[in-house]
Amino acid sequence: MTTPMLEIRGLHATAGETLILKGIDLVLMPGEVHAVMGPNGSGKSTLANVLAGKPGYAVVQGQVLYEGRDLTAMAPEERARAGVFLAFQYPVEIPGVSNFYFLKQAVNAVRAHRGLEELDAMEFLTLAREKMKLVEMSDKLMQRSLNEGFSGGEKKRNEVLQMALLDPKLAVLDETDSGLDIDALRVLADGVNALRGPERSMLVITHYQRLLEHIVPDRVHVLSGGRIVKSGGKELAHELEEKGYGWIAETAASA
Amino acid sequence: MDRGDGRERMSDVTSERHWTELFAATEADRAGEPGWLGSLRKTAIARFAEQGFPTRRDEDWRYTNPAPIAKVAWRPAPEAEVSHEALGAFALPLADGPCIVFVNGRHAPALSAADGDPQVVVASFGALLRGDAAPLERALAAEAAGADGAFPLLARAFARDGAWVHVGRDHAADRPISLVFVSVPGAAPSAAHPRFVVTAAPGSRAAVHEIHLTVGAGAQLSNALGELIAGDNAQLSHVKLVHAGAEAVHLAKTRLRVLRDARIASTLISLGARIARHDVEAVLEAEGAECALDGLYVATDGSHVDVRTLVDHRRPHGTSRELVKGVLAGKSRGIFNGKIVVREGAQKTNAQQKNENLLLTRDAEVNSKPQLEIEADDVKCSHGSTIGQLDADAIFYLRSRGIGEREAAALLTQAFAAQVVETIESEALRERVLALAQDRIFASGAGGVRS
Ligand SMILES: Nc1ncnc2c1ncn2[C@@H]1O[C@H](COP(=O)(O)OP(=O)(O)OP(=O)(O)O)[C@@H](O)[C@H]1O
Ligand SMILES: [Mg+2]
Q: Do A88 and B397 touch (CB under 8 A)?
A: yes
For residue B443, give the DSSP letter.
Answer: I
Q: Do B402 and A55 touch (CB under 8 A)?
A: no
Q: Report the C-alpha gap between B338 and B322 in whole angstroms.
A: 9
Q: Say which residues have a Cβ less than 8 Å from residue B39's Cβ, sequence separation at least 6.
A: none
Q: Do B402 and A109 touch (CB under 8 A)?
A: yes
Q: Report the C-alpha gap between B112 and B141 in whole angstroms.
A: 27
Alpha helices in B218-351 (DSSP H): none
Q: Report the C-alpha gap between B451 and B445 in whole angstroms.
A: 14
> Which residue out of B325, B391, B400 would a mutagenesis test of the A interface target, given it has the greatest number of A Cβ atoms within 10 Å?
B400
For residue A12, give the DSSP letter.
Answer: E
Out of B394, B400, B408, the one facing A52 most closely (by C-beta) is B400
Asked if the structure places residue B35 within a domain, the reply is: yes
For residue B31, give the DSSP letter.
Answer: T
The per-residue DSSP string of B354-372 comes to EEEEEE-STT-EEEEEEEE
- The answer to whether B45 and B20 are in contact (CB under 8 A) is yes
Please, which residues 143-172 of chain A have a Cβ atom closer than 8 Å to chain B? 162, 166
Please, which residues 91-110 of chain A have a Cβ atom closer than 8 Å to chain B? 91-92, 94-97, 102, 105-106, 109-110
CA-based end-to-end distance of chain A: 32
How far away is chain A from the Cα of B391, in angstroms, using its nearest Cα?
9
pLDDT for residue B422: 95
Q: Is the CB of A55 under 6 A from ligand 1?
A: no
CA distances from B361 to B132, B157, B327 (A): 54, 41, 10
Using CA positions, which residue lies closest to atom 10 of ligand 1?
Answer: A15
Write out pLDDT tens, residues B279-299.
999 999 999 999 999 999 999
Q: How confident is the model at residue A246 (pLDDT cuts 50, 70, 90)?
A: confident
Q: Report the C-alpha gap between B285 and A124 in whole angstroms.
A: 51
Q: Do B402 and A166 touch (CB under 8 A)?
A: yes
Delimit the domains of chain A by residue range: 6-254
Asked if the structure places residue B272 within a domain, the reply is: yes
Residues of chain B contacting A94 with CB distance shorter than 8 Å? 391, 394, 397-398, 412, 415
Percent of chain A exceeding pLDDT 90 equals 87
How far away is chain B from the Cα of A78, in angstroms, using its nearest Cα?
7
Q: Do B400 and A80 touch (CB under 8 A)?
A: yes
> Which residue out of B358, B393, B396, B412 would a mutagenesis test of the A interface target, given it has the greatest number of A Cβ atoms within 10 Å?
B396
How far away is chain B from the Cα of A3, in angstroms, using its nearest Cα?
24
Q: Report the C-alpha gap between B18 and B69 in whole angstroms.
A: 12
What is chain B's Cα-based Rg? 22
Q: Report the C-alpha gap between B187 and B77 in whole angstroms.
A: 10
Asked if the structure places residue B137 within a domain, the reply is: yes
pLDDT for residue B442: 81
Q: Structurally, what CATH architecture does the domain formed by A6-254 represent?
A: 3-Layer(aba) Sandwich (3.40)
Chain A residue with minimal CA distance to B407? A105
Asked if the structure places residue B169 within a domain, the reply is: yes
Q: Report the C-alpha gap between A219 and B314 in whole angstroms.
A: 75
Q: Report the C-alpha gap between B66 and B63 in whole angstroms.
A: 9
Asked if the structure places residue B260 within a domain, the reply is: yes
Ligand nearest to the CA of A223: 1
A20 CA: nearest ligand 1 atom: 12
Q: How confident is the model at residue A252 (pLDDT cuts 50, 70, 90)?
A: low
Which parts of chain B sit beneath pLDDT 50? 1-13, 444-451
Q: What is the pTM of this model?
A: 0.89
Residues of B with CB under 8 A from a CB of A: 391-394, 396-405, 407-408, 411-412, 414-416, 418-419, 451
- The answer to whether B113 and B87 are in contact (CB under 8 A) is no
Q: Do B402 and A81 touch (CB under 8 A)?
A: yes
Chain A residue with minimal CA distance to B411? A97
What is chain A's Cα-based Rg? 18
pLDDT for residue B441: 85
pLDDT for residue A243: 85
Quote the domain boundaries for residue B269.
12-286
Residues of chain B contacting A105 with CB distance shorter than 8 Å? 403, 407, 411
Asked if the structure places residue B84 within a domain, the reply is: yes
Q: Is the CB of A41 under 6 A from ligand 1?
A: yes
Write out pLDDT tens, residues A8-38.
999 999 999 999 999 999 999 999 999 999 9
pLDDT for residue B272: 85
Q: What is the identity of the amino acid at B340?
A: I
CA distances from B191 to A228, B32, B201 (A): 72, 22, 32
Asked if the structure places residue B230 within a domain, the reply is: yes
- Ligand 1 centre and the CA of A39: distance in Å? 11
SS3 B324: strand
Q: Do A75 and B416 touch (CB under 8 A)?
A: no
SS3 A78: helix
Q: Do A109 and B407 touch (CB under 8 A)?
A: yes
> Which residue out of B391, B401, B449 would a mutagenesis test of the A interface target, given it has the greatest number of A Cβ atoms within 10 Å?
B401
What is the number of structural domains in chain B? Answer: 1
Dihedral sign of CA atoms B80, B253, B9, B273 in order: negative
Q: Do B402 and A75 touch (CB under 8 A)?
A: no
- The answer to whether B166 and B130 are in contact (CB under 8 A) is no
| Largest interatomic CA distance in chain B | 69
- The answer to whether B236 and B206 are in contact (CB under 8 A) is yes
- Ligand 2 centre and the CA of A225: distance in Å? 13
Q: Say which residues have a Cβ less than 8 Å from residue B405's Cβ, sequence separation at least 6.
A: A75, A77, B395, B399, B449, B451
- The answer to whether B371 and B402 are in contact (CB under 8 A) is no
pLDDT for residue B10: 42
Asked if the structure places residue B250 within a domain, the reply is: yes
Beta strands in chain A (DSSP E): 6-15, 18-28, 33-37, 57-66, 69-70, 84-87, 94-98, 145-146, 170-174, 201-206, 219-224, 227-232
